[in-house]
Amino acid sequence: MVAFLDVTGMARWVSETGVEHVLADLVARLRADFRRWPEFDKRPRVASHSAVGVIELMPTADRSTYGFKYVNGHPDNPARGLQTVTAFGVLADVASGYPRFLAEMTLLTALRTAATSALAATALARRDCTTMAMVGAGSQAEFQALAFRATLGISTLRVWDTDPRAMAKLRANLAPLGFDVAVCASGAEAVEGADVVTTCTADKTNAAVLTDAMVRPGVHLNAIGGDCPGKTELEATILDRARVFVEHEPQTRIEGEIQQRPADFPVTELWTVLTGAAPGRTSEGDITLFDSVGFAIADFSALCHAYEATRGTGYVSEIDLVAEPADPKDLFSLLAPAMVTV
């Protein structure tokens, strides 16, 4: 039998453990896995593009465990009551090839994306950060805010979104949790005085939700929404002023903000900063940019953490996904008892 953590189970596990506690645990797990980056099988995600969106498979493996995530990105979905991104994932044993764990990953992807952003910020943002601008107040926003509070202590947010209801939703969700949330009238107003700027918008275009003039020295840019060929969020000249950090360089060249720059544009893989092999922030005045597109290893870490944390609890059920004939060479025996010939 395969363990199954469904949406209800995931939501209950996260809520009852405490979402900031889960985020902090995920940051720790991600740090540990990013520090052993060379041990993982790394390949570009397998994307199937259509006119309205993309469906992707994101596999990776270490020596003992294989994992993959199914995820879609459909920017027009919210207009018809559907989510932009949904996901699920699977872990399997490398030794047997048998799947062991199936989990919803719509919630878990939001958590791992936020935890990865926070992990990067612990290495790249200034130590004295208090204020984060959030450009984009969609499904990812609350998770980012909580992850940055759990790791950097940020509790003041300045929000901008083209959808006023999304901003109102963000404030309604976060103010009761102790955040100071300022709803702004523009992106420029939101970034005023911010130590960290998170961009997380869904338009599938080369947009410039952040312009060069809005970026001041010392800021850390957490760029989440530019994650697909033809989909970027930053005015390109920002890249030339910033020190740019990425997850897996070959994938980010295709999908990240740096798709706006030549193939030899200098970037640093985040894992090398976390092992100490490469420097992160080098001065108070650095503009640091985490050009995040999401990589399979982060999903793997999140799935492993969720599996280990919920194993044997009431949050998971078992599903009958793998046929188990008594004689492994007699798969046909599963049909025999009731078989009708024609």
* Range in contact with its own copies (rule: CB under 8 A) among 28-36, 54-62, 215-223, 271-279: 54-62
Whether the CB-CB separation of 221 and 289 falls below 8 Å is answered with yes
Pick the binder of its own copies from 26, 27, 100, 104 (CB under 8 A): 104
Indicate the DSSP class of residue 284: T
| 18 near its own copies (CB under 8 A) | yes
Question: Which amino acid belongs to residue 307?
Answer: Y
- Hunting for tokens 């798969």 — which residue is that? 331
Distance CA 342, CA 338 (A): 13
The 178-217 site mask, x for binding its own copies (CB under 8 A), equals: x---------------------------------------
Q: Is 227 a catalytic residue?
A: yes
Q: Which of residues 130-169 bind its own copies (CB under 8 A)?
A: 137-143, 163, 165-166, 169
Two tokens at 282? 């080098």
Among the listed residues 25, 33, 227, 286, the single catalytic one is: 227
Pick the binder of its own copies from 32, 36, 46, 229 (CB under 8 A): 46
- Kind plus residue range of the DSSP H or E element containing 117: helix 106-124
Pick the binder of its own copies from 28, 155, 177, 236 (CB under 8 A): 177
Distance CA 156, CA 180 (A): 5
Pick the binder of its own copies from 81, 262, 266, 276 (CB under 8 A): 81
- Hunting for tokens 């926003």 — which residue is that? 141
Q: Which of residues 107-136 bind its own copies (CB under 8 A)?
A: 107, 110
Q: Which of residues 245-304 bind its own copies (CB under 8 A)?
A: none
| 231 near its own copies (CB under 8 A) | no
Residue 4 C-beta-side C-alpha neighbours within 13 Å: 11
Instruction: With CA atoms as reference, report the closest residue to 271 among 15, 33, 8.
Output: 33
Pick the binder of its own copies from 36, 39, 48, 249 (CB under 8 A): 48
Which residue, 213 or 321, is less far from its own copies as judged by CB?
321
Burial class of residue 115 (count of CB atoms within 10 Å of its CB; 0-12, 13-18, 19+): buried
Active site residues: 227
